[in-house]
Structure formats: C-alpha cells, structure tokens
Structure 1
Amino acid sequence: MARSSGLVAGLTAAALAGVGFLAYKAEASVSDMKARPGANTSPGKTAPKTPVNPLALPTGSGSGERVVYGLQSRRVWLVENKTNKVKHTFQVMPSTVNPKPGTYSVTSRAGKIPGSDGVAIEHVVRFAKADGVTIGFSAAVNGSMAAPNPKKKTGGVRMTRADGDVIWSFATVGTKVVVIP
C-alpha cells in the first residue's frame, strides 16, 4: 500500500512539474512576442483576440431565469434567476427551420410524441413558430442527434436524452427563451 502511494505521489509531482514547465514556456513565448513590436500583427490588422470560452454564457443574452439558444454555436445554456449563473449547458442539433433571434416564452410541452420527422421524441419544449413550423427542444427516444433531412421543414432542436431530462425540469410553460445569433 505504501509503495503504491509513493508511486502516485511521484507521478503527481512529475505531472505538476511538466505543467509548470509548459506554463513557463508559454509565458516566455508571449513575453517574446510582446517585446517585438508588430510581431503579432500585420499592417492594417488588429492583434488576435483572446480565445473565448465556448461554454461561457454569451454577453447580451438577457437577464433572469432563461434558456439561451445560440444558433451559430449550436448550444443551449440554462440560466438560474437569482445568480444569473449557468446551471447547465449542452450542444444541440438545430432543425431545418430556425427562429429569428429574439425573446420568446415556452408555450407548451409534451412528454412523448412523434416528431415532425417521424422519429419518436420526448421532453418536447415548444417556444416559437417560424415559416409555419413550430420550433421546440426535444430528445429522440433512440438517443440520436442526427442532422435533419434538409429537404424537410422541421422545427425540432435535438439534444441528448440526458440533456432533455434537464431542460424538461427547467423550462416550464412561460419560461423565457432567448435566441441569439
């Protein structure tokens, strides 16, 4: 037992040393770039932006309790009311018909129904209409998140069954849904 504890401690120390070395090298590279004027920019171009955390709640996505749906990022954030913190975030597969950016409300829900594409779905949370199609979040009972047939007008924004369970508990009728580009 003591030998395995020593092995784990040794491996942990080696890993920490490796991380520290990589951090030092990264800082040295950044310092070197800062020391050379124009090294990280070209004439007429601005310096590269710091990468943004794709899981972070986008700015300008409203306030209060809400579901935020990012069309381009294909991501949903569930935001708590009092703390304005993300309770849960997950990837989705958009439908062929998308709502315009704006603020909506959950209008209705259904436990388990056939989807507009013929796939059995559950945890349906409807919030918008566009181009004559009802749009809502749902999870395929078979667990698939396949891209929809581009020749069909569908409004189901698909997610995993586990994420469907979470949004079903969170987004009751009247809950705000903010759609962002």
Structure 2
Amino acid sequence: MHFSELLTCRYSVRAYRPDPVPQELLEKVLFAARMAPTAANRQPFQVIVIHTAGRENDLKHIYHREWFRQAPLTLCVCGLPDKAWVRGDGWNSYETDASIVMDHMLLAAADLGLGTCWIANFSPAAAREVLRLPEGVTPLAFTPLGFPADQPSPKERKPLAELVRYEGW
C-alpha cells in the first residue's frame, strides 16, 4: 500500500472480530516498534503484549469500554524515563519516543489489515497493578490489536492552511 493511502485508510477501530492475530503479523507490528526513531537512539520503551482471552476483567480495570477487550491482543507501550535522552533544559524525551513507537505500530498494523485504537484515557494505577510494572516504568498508551469488525467513519480534517505556518508563527 502506498504511504499516503495508508494514512487515509487507517482509523480508530472500535469493534473487533475474534479471529486470532497470526504470530507473523504480530511480529511485523513489533518490528515496526523496534525500528521507530527515538532521541539519541536510546530506545527508552518496552511493549507489553497481552493476550485478551482470560484477561478481560483485568483489562476492564485499565479501560472500561467493552470494545477494548474484543480484540485478541492488547499492546501497551511503556516509557522508561531513566533510559531516555534529556535535553539541556531538563526536558525528557521518553513520552515523545513512546508516542513515535505507538504510531509506528498503528501504521504497520493498518498496512497488514489489522485494526488498532490509540488509548490514552486509561487508569495508570490499574495498568501498573495488572501488568506488574516496576518502579521507573510508565504506561503511556494502549491499543487493541485485531481484525476490524466495523467500518471507518468519514474523517474530518482541518485544511493545511489552518495547521501549517511558514518561517515562524
């Protein structure tokens, strides 16, 4: 698929078929995470793969929407602030790096015919408990991963003229 087509066809999937995700496809999605650029190539992230079957109640505590538990897999991107690059003024790149990782996985999944939905509105406390995260590991984003059972809604996007400025503000 051409990249511009991929950008327009990817959408936030909120209904999933129960079909399992073949290991080969999962590995391609995880490869995209591994190849994501990070500041100073520090790679301050971990991806946790959760098999949904039997974990539905745990996942319900992390995020309450029923469709979140429909996909056969759920991915969590965690940041490692202590391993990230830090700018001279103290800004830590781990959240940005983890966001790039998640976006790479979402695009790779769409290219493979899989559905995803970026979830930031989750309970960090529940995620820490359910995933047994150690100190220094921050859960930053989740996505279900599976075959879509819904159809995309039309996307409304602002025109570029409202989003882009040249040579300054």
Q: Same fold (TM over 0.5)?
A: no
Higher share of residues assigned strand? 1
Higher CA-based Rg: 1
The two structures have a TM-score, normalised by structure 2, of 0.22
Higher share of residues assigned helix? 2
Higher relative contact order structure (alpha carbons within 8 Å, sequence separation ≥ 6):
2
